[in-house]
Amino acid sequence: MRENISIKLISEELNLQECIDFVQDDACGGIATFIGTVRNHTKGKEVKRLEFSAYTSMAIKELQKIAERALEKFDISKIAIHHAEGLLQIGDIPVIIAVSSAHRGASFKACKFAIDTLKKSVPIWKKEFFKDGEVWVNAHP
């Protein structure tokens, strides 16, 4: 792992301060963060909780690739991408992305790039639990 990239996929609670501390850099003028939170509704239905499962070894490789691409594409210093696995309750945090850069524009762009790409390519799956059943998100036409 490169010293300017922090990747985690863990079943413990994510730690925002840890991500910020990792990307903090005296040469940087700012840190942008994206924090995903578990929403209590989807398409008008009340969501009770979520469960995330992953193809862990491949997911870590894909997260690493996203971080490397962000470092190539944008003028940023460091990037942390941490994702949670397992059962999460409403308001819990499944994902944190933190990016530092000398000037703020690059951090904002890299943060957006990282979360958008993660949602398309990283083999992690979310199951939503409702009062009357459960469904794998995005799985059906």
Partner 1 sequence: MTIKTLFFGITRDVIGKSNIEFDLNEGQSIADFQSILAKNYSGLTDIKSYAFAVNEEYVNEDYIIKENDIIAIIPPVSGG
Q: Is 123 a binder of partner 1 (CB under 8 A)?
A: yes
Q: Does 139 bind partner 1 (CB under 8 A)?
A: yes
SS3 103: coil
Helix (H) or strand (E) holding 86: strand 86-89
The Cα–Cα gap between 87 and 94 comes to 10
Question: Which residue among 13, 131, 133, 138 contacts partner 1 (CB under 8 A)?
Answer: 138
**Which distant-in-sequence residues (6+ apart) come within 8 Å of 139 by Cβ?**
none
Q: What is the largest CA-CA distance in the chain?
A: 52
Q: Which 38-97 residues touch partner 1, going by CB under 8 A?
A: 52-55, 57-59, 61, 83, 94-95
| Residue number, 25 or 129, with CB nearest to partner 1 | 129
Question: Which residues sit at the interface with partner 1, rule CB under 8 A?
Answer: 36, 52-55, 57-59, 61, 83, 94-95, 115, 118-127, 136-141
